[in-house]
Structure 1
Amino acid sequence: MNLKPVAFFALLLGVLASSSPEKKDGWANANDPWKTCDPFGVPRSAVNEIRGISFAPLPNKIVVLHQYNRVWREVWMDGRALPKNVGMKGGPDPTWYGYSVGHWDGDNTFVIDTTGSDDSEWLDPRGYPHSAQGVFEERYKRVDHNHLEMTVTVDDPKIYTKTFVLGTSKFVWVPSQESEEQICVPSEAISYVNIISIPVAGDEEQK
């Protein structure tokens, strides 16, 4: 049975990755690029919180559609190689979502390799860095008709001493699901940060 994970919408069930507890206003006081609505990029967009994802197959590529910020990524399926000299003389410039190529591992697993993601991005909400030359592998395995598992592996010898798994996400297929709009609006983000980061009078009096 062909279970290739394309042309369907999925809701994220959970991300299996370690995280550190934060105090209530920790996000407001952090330097997370998300605060100013900078794009998540790759691989953070694949492992961040509750998001939907779709796959749209075209003749020579598959377009990955992320619900958050209405982002779409081109994954080339025509056999081309990843660029080796991103950010170097004669090479392409880094981009927010990098350069992606894909292939099938059997009938049920769609593999995406990406490099060239801008090094100002974080790997995940914990703030781990990456270089523009890092290579990120996303493996989307359709374990049955309704369920999809995705694992992200990081290979970035400029920053890390060995390859490691960043996280695993589990998705469920929702037939005829409408994609709710989730847009990061800079003006709203600034207002939110100001509200949660400025202490109220009562808090100040207790100090």
Structure 2
Amino acid sequence: EPSWEDRDRFVLGKGRGCPALYAALANRSFFPREELWSYRRLGAMLQGFPEVRRAPGVDAPGGSPGQGLGLANGLALALRDRAPVPSVYCLVGDGELQEGVFWESAMTSARFCLDNLVLIIDRDGRQNMGGEEEIMPLEPIAEKLTSFGWAVEECDGHDFASLDGAMAALRTSGGKPRCILACTVSGKGVSFLEGGASGIGELSRDFMDKALRELEKGGD
């Protein structure tokens, strides 16, 4: 319910993932599902990056790499005095961890002991320009965040049970911001997408039909 002030908040730091966010919001009846077919069209509700004033259910703007965690910090601070305290979830891609502002924000999260903040890092090792290891290696991510004062759990980002287990383990880490390092494979389950960056930003009916056929076949 977007008008409920005490609800949890979600910040999509990796703005290019907005088609998944839009699909989830449409599925929860924030807007008609038919709006999904106007994605990225001039003047449409659903643009290539989420916009607060344009799309119902969007809690924060997205697009600039590395900015998402800072926005989530502000929301977590603003909501901390409420009872019960709403949680703020922030999803980022590992490419955003190459931005200095991300690490400044990570220090801020720990400085203010934002234990109502959950950061989820989509650790697929890919970004628009290629493999992360060739562009700017990031490891050891968990150790870096832990040294800043974060509680960190790693999991299989494609396994709901693994994600739930990581979330449960982090619930005991009072007084610290929490991070789930979700190891994933880009485009998993779709042969012409898996492990690569092709198809980013595309949402044609033909493209979707091909992907869905493979996903449905794999789930049989």
TM-score normalised by the shorter chain: which range applies? Answer: under 0.3
Q: Which has the higher helix share?
A: 2
Indicate the structure whose relative CO is greater, using CA pairs within 8 Å and at least 6 residues apart.
Answer: 1
TM-score, with length taken from structure 2:
0.25
Q: TM-score, normalised by structure 1?
A: 0.26
